[in-house]
Amino acid sequence: MHAFIANLIRRGPVLTDGSWGTQIIKRGLKPSESPDSWNLTHANVLGEVAAEYVKAGSRVILTNTFGANRFVLEKFGLADKAGVINRKGVEISKWAAGEKAYVFASMGPSGKLLAAKQVTEDDLQKAFEEQASAMLDGRPDAIVVETMMDLNEAAIASKAAKGTGLPVITCLVFDSGKEKDRTMMGNTPEQAVEVLSKIGVDAIGANCGQGIEGFIPICRRMRAATDLPIWMKPNAGLPERIDGRIVYKTTAQEFAGFVPELIKAGANFIGGCCGTDQSFIREIGRALRKG
Ligand SMILES: [Zn+2]
């Protein structure tokens, strides 16, 4: 495990950030727009989102680079801008973090299915290497490979991220199966630990897909399978469609009520994914201080 990550978690669980997508949509992102393109056009707005998380107590914030790989960017005609979009994304979060928080650069999925042969392993690897090396130019503290639905893609992205020499955290979405303890492609928490440990990731975890209650057994199973630090970012419950809008109904207080159990299950990094905002980060922070 990377010494930087070991040091960071030494004194107890670390508060990360909440959703960026929800915040950017609230600030006017159109459905036809690439969120990542805002690094070039709306740097100040993104800086505000990041700064609000730092103010709410996040010790680690991510970057607006979730979809900044060439496969997602090409849908918006921006594949050739991957380099500058990633570098800028890291720079914006670093500016907002100052000395108060660490910046972990976000790498999301390609949107292509390996299993359906929509992409080759080689091309996937090249795209993630391109993204990781552009992120490195912005000098982040670590890379987070997140929201992965396929362990094979997670492994390819993690190897590309490891190539930078930065610490790497990899997390998957467990939202399938009767117990909601498998990825879309059927991978279990134990399989994720086995494959990703071999690659040498510095922390492992889960994000998105379901509410915090469902993360507790997943965290416990990962903890039983590894000594690596565990990263947990649950959603604010499951999304519901109300009057054409997507709504997450779990409140910050309800979410934070489960934090002690998540700590007991072995979590080392705690934050939120879809539907969570600065108020969730403040409430999780309170729960962490109570221990
Ligand atoms: Zn999410």
Q: 82-97 and 121-137 helices cross at what angle (nearest 10)?
A: 40
Cα(250) to centroid of ligand 1, in Å? 14
Q: With 90 as the cut, is the pLDDT of residue 44 above it?
A: yes
- Return the pLDDT at 104: 98
- For residue 280, the CA-to-ligand 1 centroid distance in Å is 14
Q: How far is the CA of 272 from the centre of ligand 1 (A)?
A: 8
Residue % of the chain over a pLDDT of 90: 94
Looking at residue 45, what is its pLDDT? 97
**Pairing relation of β-strands 60-61 and 102-107?**
parallel
Mind listing the pLDDT tens digit for each residue in 66-95? Answer: 999 999 999 999 999 999 999 999 999 999
Q: How confident is the model at residue 22 (pLDDT cuts 50, 70, 90)?
A: confident
Summarised one tens digit per residue, pLDDT across range 142-193 is: 999 999 999 999 999 999 999 999 999 999 999 999 999 999 999 999 999 9
- CA 225–ligand 1 middle distance (angstroms): 24
Range of the domain at 50: 3-290
Residue 1 pLDDT level (bands cut at 50, 70, 90)? confident
Distance CA 285, CA 271 (A): 9
CATH label of the domain that carries residue 16: 3.20.20.330
For residue 233, what pLDDT is reported? 98
Total-model pTM: 0.97
The region, left, alpha or beta by phi > 0 then psi within -120 to 50, assigned to residue 275 is left
The b-or-e profile of 240-270 (16+ CB within 10 A means b, else e) is eeeeeeeebebebebbbebbeebbebbbbbb
Under the banding of pLDDT at 50, 70 and 90, the label for residue 257 is very high
Q: How far is the CA of 170 from the centre of ligand 1 (A)?
A: 14
Would you state the pLDDT for residue 118? 96
Position with higher pLDDT, 150 vs 241: 150
Provide the number of structural domains found in the chain: 1
